[in-house]
A and B are shown apart, each in its own frame.
Chain A
Amino acid sequence: MRFPRLALLSLLLMLTACASEQNDPYPKAERGKNILYSAFTDRPKHLDPVQSYSEDEITFTAQIYEPPLQYHYLKRPYTLIPATSESVPVPRYYDAEGRELPADAPAAEIARSVYDIRIRPGIRYQPHPAFATDGKGQPVYGDLDAGKLHGIDAIADFAVTGSRELVADDYIYQIKRLAHPRLHSPIFSMMGERIIGLRELGSTLREADRELPPGAWLDLDRFSLAGVSRLDRYTYRIELRGKYPQFPYWLAMPFFAPVPREVDRFYSMPGMAEKNLTLDWYPVGTGPFMLTRNDPNSRMVLERNPNFHGETYPCVGEPGDAAAGLLDDCGKALPFIDKAVFSREKEAIPYWNKFLQGYYDASGISSDSFDQAVRLGVGGDVRLTDEMREKGIRLLTSVRPSVFYMGFNMLDPVVGGLSEQATKLRQALSIAIDQEEFISIFMNGRGIAATSPLPPGIFGYLEGEAGSNPVVYDWVDGRPRRKSIEEAKKLLAEAGWPNGRNARTGEPLVLNLDTTSGGMGEKSRLDWLTRQFAKLDIQLVVRSTDFNRFQEKIRKGAVQLYYLGWNADYPDPENFLFLLDGTDGKVAVGGENASNYVNPEYDRLFERMKNMESDGPRGAERLAIIREAIALLQHDAPWIFGFHPKSYTLGHSWLHNRKSTDVGNNILKYQRIDVAGRERLRQQWNEPVLWPLLAAVLLLVAVILPAAVGYRRRERGTAR
């Protein structure tokens, strides 16, 4: 009887242990704490602000580093406001002789733009060993080496930390780091064209680095940067070549966040890199949060920076924000949460299920879960399913500042060039490919058909008939209606390809589409696309390849048609329209114009537009130029405008102040959690179901018992 008793006891113990929330993936000590739980899919590669450029990384860096500017959390269109600076800097312009010019001076006359940025005094860095000093003001960790680092494997292992005030020199030091020969800043080349002296500093630093032993610290304070100077302890000046009205947007990115010299020095000491103790993995900032655990394979933890200078929740937003409760916390001190835990979820299914169990506070919606979460109405209206509504889950949607398109290689002899025939061929294809159908079938309606490169929310995007593409749509009964396939066929015939055959030779029109293999669903997407071309009796040959080969083909101009997309760096039309700037052709200069589209008239308009501000007296003029440029693109059709994706985010009822934002990334400080509400619902949703345990035991008994009986019978039976 001893065994059954023991088994019974074990079972009871197991059942007791399963009393509540056994599926909670977080430590028990965290229950009831003011912690936000989120997830990330791809591990961040760089957390050094000079290198970090991807969405996976900015989720973290934007909460830690503070560039001088930031975006207003609630206002739309996106508006720049000060972060650490006292105000948004207003540029002053000078001509080649150094004479100051008025703000509305023609761009051609402007030789230099000067931005003076004054930061607020009293801002302090997070506690960090790099700032630790002894009684004499000397750094505690000033002469580390591999031996002294014995037993230290993480920043938290350093016994002493310190802090200091943020000063203008820290911003200057970081701008110099853009030119650091051992770092690979993605914006160095671009900023080298803009910031006076940056390119030259890059060459000087390369030379200096060659003379140093490998890995030795390159003290950037030894080198001057002509276009960046310190005016006083809290003010610095940046001088740019010519006029660049988009520059303030860059001042809201981590590239222009401060990096103190002593931090750079600290991480450059011998033995640090071997232990992965680098700025790339242990960022140091003045922001509301600091990274206290960096395990990009499993979990990243941000905790409240005790030295955060303080900020308050905004009191104004866009219409509808008050009704949505987004102004309820007006004037309250930020941040609201004490900690944010980001767990790595590589697969969509566990991510989604943990969100439904309440272990993530917000989630996107993968294609697999779309039907479970959202229902599309006949009129395209979106609403949550009953299951989601019962859980109190809220849906946030927004159109992302992105554009996806099918580009034509304008260097191609068949589809390229600005001849009337080639243009009509491209226009015919623009009509034939039904983007609305694509969005409905393959994106669950999560997107809007594009009529130009500009997505909604970007200056220059127009609603209604004014924003429609007259080459592709007719405006009927107050709505755009895609032109008929007959009209497309007519254009095709005029292009010299009646019924998809060469008017002279009778040869069929065969077009090649280069694309990267897109995983599941790719075949059906390509089949659909082939059918769209077949509507015009055009044969489509799909050349799927890996990403590297695809990029190489684009670079060499060895494509006819291709698929690409673009996510905005900043909310300005220049950041989209430059993708078709003739002076930035992919084949000619390795630029971003992958279609190699060159239209001198468009280039002229783009050149004028990019040097203008959207607000102010010349806003209307800028808008008119943008409309003119877009009309040219719609006519020339170097792209078949695809779609602007919509982002769908689900948030639990206990998560407050969540607003979709695709440009400003420092959103964590605005999030508030109703911790008690979360605990209550989590408990309610995660009561363990215990009968399967009992059933498993019974099943085991049901298997073992007959076997045991059979064994005994055989052992006692007589030989046969």
Chain B
Amino acid sequence: MLAYLVRRLLYALPILIGVNVITFALFFVVNTPDDMARMQLGVKRVTPEAIDKWKAQRGYDKPLFINDAASGSAVFTDTIFFSKSARMFAGDFGRAEDGRDIAREITSRMGPSLAIALPTFVLGLLVTVSFALMLTFFRASYLDFWGVVLCVAMMSISGLFYIIGGQFLISKLWKLVPISGYGSGLDAWKFVILPVLIGVISGIGSSTRWYRTIFLEEISRDYVRTARAKGLSELVVLFRHVLRNAMIPILTGVVVVIPLLFMGSLLTESFFGIPGLGSYTIDAINAQDFAVVRAMVFIGSVLYIVGLILTDLSYTFVDPRIRFN
């Protein structure tokens, strides 16, 4: 397994370099270092000298990819791309354009993001799997029919509607929890309830339909008939046999997103005033803060790769026949 892991991690390197190159190219197609300087310095009373000074201080006065004026390896290393990207592979994200340390910022914002994403993920999984199993149990009945109709209706509604509707009903009309904001420590619970509830409800439609399809495929198999023939209750058949055998497709979709929970949600965090990584990314994009955008894309890519590796590993736990070669 170790050799497999090492091989996968080595494969990840060119992927990460590729992601970096693409992010870099896309960003600088839209923004020039001059644009970035103007964004940071403001539009009032900005002189060309001030822009040059800003660029020089932050290393944006170099060529993007190739430095014709340099010699030797400096042709590639004395460029914006190399100077900004190389140290990320050593875990040094540097400073945001406003001077704050990106690593510290990410560390402090990870907590709020996880406080929303983790319960939403766990509760969402429990609710949708249970609901899907219930619909499977009552398959081809009115309950199943109306359950599917409900799911289709729920997945047809925009996520924004759930957020605004939830805030209107639960916070504004019924005044049960704060509309937005965040508190530290135990004070956080009252701010977390609403986004988590909305996150769970908004995800029910699509996830339930997906899991129901998987369970329906499993439930018609021979081993299920055998289990029933043994006299097992339907509940045991569903939870012990069907669920376990449906794990591979479930894990494929679920495990890969676990590491990405750290990245937070762009929309939810913005509407609920959660100071997490999702809103950090949005702020950075709006402020044309390349240092932060690059760091967040890089971390997102790393976490996605980690998620894929974890998914592969998880297969061996649910299906002992799977071996890494």
Contact = CB atoms under 8 A, between A and B. Distances in A.
Interaction A to B? yes
Interface of A: 18, 21-25, 27, 43, 45-46, 53-54, 181-182, 184, 186-190, 273-276, 278, 280-281, 295, 297-298, 343-347, 349-350, 353-354, 356-357, 359, 546, 548, 551-552, 569, 590, 592, 686-690, 692-693, 706-707, 710-711, 714-715
Contacts of B99: 273, 276, 278, 280-281
Contacts of A273: 99, 101
B190 A181 contact: no
A27 B101 CA distance: 29
Given A295-B275, A350-B273, A546-B30, A189 B176 contact: no
A25 B191 contact: yes
A584 to B, nearest CB: 11
A353 B104 contact: no
Contacts of B171: 23, 353
A714 B143 CA distance: 14
Contact of A184 (B50, B234, B275): B50
19 contacts: A25-B178, A43-B283, A45-B98, A184-B53, A189-B49, A273-B99, A275-B104, A281-B100, A297-B109, A298-B181, A344-B275, A346-B273, A347-B273, A350-B167, A353-B171, A546-B30, A693-B176, A710-B138, A710-B141
B164 A349 contact: yes
B41 A711 contact: no
B37 to A, nearest CB: 9
Contacts of B44: 53, 186, 569, 592
B325 interface: no
Contacts of A45: 40, 98, 287
Given A53-B44, A186-B50, 12 more contacts: A23-B171, A182-B57, A184-B50, A186-B42, A186-B46, A281-B99, A295-B275, A298-B181, A343-B273, A350-B271, A551-B35, A688-B176
Given A25-B181, A184-B54, A186-B45, A692 B174 contact: yes
Given A46-B98, A297-B280, A715 B234 contact: yes
Nearest to B272: A350
A688 B179 contact: no
Contacts of A46: 98
Contacts of A688: 174-176
Given A25-B191, A43-B283, A714-B234, A189 B47 contact: yes
A617 B275 CA distance: 56
Contacts of B47: 189, 590
A187 B38 contact: no
Most buried by B among A22, A343, A590, A714: A22
A276 B104 contact: yes
Contacts of B167: 349-350, 353
Nearest to B179: A350
Contacts of A706: 143
A687 B175 contact: yes
Contacts of B279: 297, 346
A514 to B, nearest CB: 15
Interface in B155-183: 164, 167, 169-183
Q: Which of A25, A273, A343, A569 has the most CB of B within 10 A?
A: A25
Contact of A715 (B30, B112, B141, B233): B233
B140 interface: no
A138 B47 CA distance: 42
A18 B176 contact: yes
A184 B171 CA distance: 44
Interface string B25-59: 00000111001001111111111111001100100
B137 interface: yes
B222 interface: no
Interface string B52-83: 01100100000000000000000000000000
Nearest to A707: B134
Contacts of B49: 189
Of A43, A276, A297, A690, the most chain B CB neighbours within 10 A belong to A297
B173 A689 contact: yes
A552 B187 CA distance: 48
A23 B179 contact: yes
B168 to A, nearest CB: 8
Contacts of A349: 164, 167, 271
Among A273, A280, A354, A693: residue with most chain B CB under 10 A:
A354
A687 B273 CA distance: 23
B270 interface: yes
A345 B167 CA distance: 14
B174 A548 contact: no
Given A346-B270, A590-B48, A692-B174, A276 B101 contact: yes
A343 B104 contact: no
B147 to A, nearest CB: 10
A181 B57 CA distance: 9
Given A23-B177, A27-B183, A689-B173, A190 B104 contact: no
Interface string B100-142: 1100100001001000000000000000000000100110010
A25 B30 CA distance: 39
B292 to A, nearest CB: 12
B176 to A, nearest CB: 6
Given A186-B41, A189-B45, A24 B234 contact: no
Contacts of B30: 546, 548
Interface in B247-285: 270-273, 275, 279-280, 283
Nearest 9 pairs between A and B by C-beta? A297-B275, A25-B178, A350-B180, A548-B35, A298-B275, A25-B181, A689-B174, A189-B47, A350-B179
Contacts of A592: 44-45
A711 B137 contact: yes
Contacts of A548: 30-32, 35, 38-39, 288
A53 B42 contact: yes
Nearest to A51: B41
A686 B172 CA distance: 9
Given A25-B191, A186-B50, A715-B233, A345 B180 contact: yes
A693 B270 CA distance: 27
A23 B40 contact: no
Contacts of A710: 138, 141, 143
A22 B180 contact: no
Contacts of B288: 548
Contacts of B271: 346-347, 349-350
Contacts of B191: 25
A23 B112 CA distance: 19
Contacts of A345: 180, 273
Residue of B41, B112, B179, B280 most packed against chain A (CB within 10 A): B179
B273 A298 contact: yes
A133 B144 CA distance: 75
B273 A551 contact: no
A188 B100 contact: no
Nearest to A350: B180
Contacts of A569: 44
Contacts of B134: 707
Given A189-B49, A276-B104, A347-B270, A707 B138 contact: yes
Nearest to B43: A551
A297 B182 CA distance: 10
Contacts of A350: 167, 179-180, 271-273
Contacts of B187: 27
B60 to A, nearest CB: 13
Nearest to A153: B104
B175 to A, nearest CB: 5
B175 A23 contact: yes
A692 to B, nearest CB: 5
Contacts of A274: 101, 104
A23 to B, nearest CB: 5
A706 B183 CA distance: 40
Contacts of A707: 134, 138, 143
